[in-house]
Amino acid sequence: MGLVTNGLSIISSNMAGSALFTKVGIGTSGLTFASGQTTLGSETDRNIITDVDLTTNEQVTFVANFSPVEISGTTLREFGTFTSGNGMGDRQVLNGSLVFDGEQELQIQTTYKFSISGV
């Protein structure tokens, strides 16, 4: 997963309590990751984050679910997290793709791990 430039701003804002990741978007583009990206390459759906796990120190996990009806016919190649103001925090491009035929559900879990460097 690659943290985009905007994601760094979002994370620093979250430390001060303003912006918050609220959604996960999925898409069909296999476009190579670049840190300056502000949108998915080809977004097909976006859902609200349904669970936030803060039980592990220095780590936060966001969970979003997609129903079979929502993703039927989708060839998943990318996903990312977004703020309520539609700012993209990260983008993950899959190594290959996943094709959904209307029978499968999809759950995306995005985990951020924090560490201190230079100490």
Q: How far from 90 is each of 39, 43, 58, 100, 104, CA to CA, in Å? A: 9, 14, 18, 23, 25
Q: What is the pTM of this model?
A: 0.83
Whether residue 116 is predicted with pLDDT greater than 70 in this model: the reply is: no
Domains of the chain: total: 1
Does 118 fall in a domain? no
pLDDT tier at 13 (50, 70, 90 boundaries)? low
Does 17 fall in a domain? yes
Does 15 fall in a domain? yes
Q: How many CB atoms lie within 10 A of CB 8?
A: 13
pLDDT score, position 39: 96
Tell me if residue 38 falls in helix, strand or coil.
coil
Average pLDDT over residues 58-62: 84
pLDDT score, position 6: 80
Question: Does residue 45 contact residue 26 with C-beta atoms inside 8 Å?
Answer: yes
Average pLDDT over residues 76-82: 96
Give CA–CA dist 45/79, Å, rounded.
10
* Residue ranges making up the domain that contains 84: 2-113
pLDDT score, position 20: 79
